[in-house]
Structure 1
């Protein structure tokens, strides 16, 4: 896997590559190995199933109470806590996850997959990393070095690991647990560069980036990021919202594949961690996790820690878990149905997806939003490439800022329409009762 000119990983196929094996490994191909089939194979003891969150044993809101996990994490800190708990109890020998790496060139990646074998190494990689990664190198390391591992990744990465486990006995034996991270979509390396450049630091001068920096004065849903300039004594903190393309859901520099994924919550993972974007938690700057456990052993681990006061948990329903990520489900279900129909109508190949109850076609306004997001994902790549080649962020701002503003107006109109509709339904319901 190599980085291309737009900051995305692409495969370089050898002459003897087996196409059938490649298709079986790719998360988007071979529908017989979809999320439902893989969950049935790898999560046989998980009793309940929901069409949005997949199979589940227990669902709850949670945060880590002990140590600094909550303070140091993007949300409630439960992901890092779980990884270190498994290490401390000797249940695993290492954690396979994305970690920050040193950069030399202006377009080098900020993060790569690696294996952490100590609590200190795990905590150094805390936080969300909105950045493309690839897993071929680290899976080769797992095949070379026997051990018991926890794999952490976004839905498509966990699904790819499950498919790899089905193909390779060593990976099946050595990766004991998988933890999924709720995902809206990936971002190219260039998105991180665009944030830094818009904040005043040229790509060649950015040493590192930290996404989702917390502060008492910043709401949990706000996306502030930290930038460390080469040679600077301390990082700078900036709000991503006012920067061109800085609002995450605008879709700047998103891979095409993300537009054809229907898995929001890593349905094939033993445990899923995400933000609990519910009204009762949204104003707590410290963050709260939504947790979906599909593995009885991991459920028991969290419950035991809760009884000891090391983790605070509150029950949630499957519906509340889906509501906590409502925007992601609209994009990945309603939006996906629209994109598939649009491509098919134009005579293009489309991947075969699951037939899910919420894969319904949107109204005209939502359709315009989905169209514009897809256009932005594609146009932003070329615009930023041009800016890099010419050495001027102004070129990117000039081309993309009006398009981002147009999408934002459409989103605000859709949100206001949805709020009015909900309030009218509630009013009519009260009158009938």
Structure 2
């Protein structure tokens, strides 16, 4: 009788070899067999465990998103475009010095600091950078140090691996800053039904980041070099509203790179993603976008409050004056939903193109309401099966 493939082999065949790996780190740090090298997941040794956590937690293995939503959120809050929404605001840190160090409004750092001060979390897992300029997860227990990790690099960070590496005996409540794929992996952990596995109980807060894509490290470094810049010398980067450029910042000023060139650096796995707003987070935060002046927008964040935990923290931030909050124009939410819907349509179209079947959606269930709404709204591939 042919031996059934173990969890690691299925992960290799169905995710890694299919260019679906997001580099989130959910399969790393669980055992010595898998590591991150640069921005790639590498399997060092074979494992024949039938039911491995590496496969169970990967955001690109089959997931019952409906069951996870029921477990984590109030059903009445769900929207097909951007997931659960209890409230939608524009916000920024009240601390001007914090805003100056942040990517946009400093909202994420302000919320993490407040969560620490109030005892909601004892430490936060954020994305940092090692000596080789590779992203990695860092566990930060000092609220004042969190500002050092503000800003975006647009390259993948295996942040979830930092959570996996913590000892099981470390039960302190943790906050995690997560991209959409990382938030999905953490949701799979929190809702997993694995005997004796209680580590996710320490995941007290997940703050999600809006994300359109991440960049493959080597290709992006080559692009930066093409523009006469040193990757280690970059001090920041951003996509200004409505300009179709990636702005690279260094000591010499800002360099504009057309997004048409940046697109060649986008990780293949990102083409199959349908979540741009981190729908499985407690709160999700992104750069503000509305019909105002770009300089004004640059100082603000969009915030989606999703869970009761997220609502508790955001309300406290308003009450204590940690955040400056303003109502978002109606058009801002409409534009966000439109952009998120486009991400879903494009992602599903790429999934169908790859699987050549609307019944095999790789990691998604075809009867999920968010999938059903947008499936087939892009042209199907030639000879595609139904």
Alignment of 1:5-404 (within 5 A): 8-12=39-43, 14-21=45-52, 22-32=54-64, 34=65, 36-43=66-73, 45=74, 47-103=76-132, 109-134=133-158, 135-141=160-166, 143=168, 145-165=170-190, 166=192, 167=194, 169-201=197-229, 206-212=231-237, 223-227=246-250, 235-242=251-258, 245-246=261-262, 250=263, 252-280=264-292, 282-284=294-296, 286-316=298-328, 320-321=332-333, 323-324=335-336, 326-330=338-342, 332-345=343-356, 350-353=361-364, 354=368, 355-362=371-378
Kindly tell me: are residues 325 and 19 of structure 1, through their superposed partners in 2, closer, same or farther at Cα, counting changes over 3 Å? farther
Mapped to 2, the partners of 1:297 and 1:346 lie a distance apart of 39
Tell me the matched-pair count.
Answer: 337
Kindly tell me: are residues 209 and 144 of structure 1, through their superposed partners in 2, closer, same or farther at Cα, counting changes over 3 Å? farther
State the SS of the aligned residue for 2:224: helix
Kindly tell me: are residues 296 and 254 of structure 1, through their superposed partners in 2, closer, same or farther at Cα, counting changes over 3 Å? same
State the SS of the aligned residue for 2:257: coil
Match of 2:29 in 1: none
Shift, 1:139, TM fit:
1.7
Shift, 1:179, TM fit:
0.9
TM-score calculated relative to the size of structure 1: 0.68
Mapped to 2, the partners of 1:238 and 1:118 lie a distance apart of 31
Bigger Rg, structure 1 or 2: 1
- Contact kept in structure 2, 1:39 and 1:267, CA below 8 Å: no
Backbone CA RMSD of aligned residues: 3.2
Shift, 1:291, TM fit:
0.8
Q: Residue deviations 1:298-345, cap 9 Å, x none?
A: 324333433454422233489843523644541x22212322332344
The runs of 5 or more residues in structure 1 that have no matched partner are 104-108, 228-234, 368-433
Greater fraction helix = 1
TM-score calculated relative to the size of structure 2: 0.76
State the SS of the aligned residue for 2:166: helix
The runs of 5 or more residues in structure 2 that have no matched partner are 1-33, 382-386
Shift, 1:187, TM fit:
1.2
Mapped to 1, the partners of 2:76 and 2:358 lie a distance apart of 41
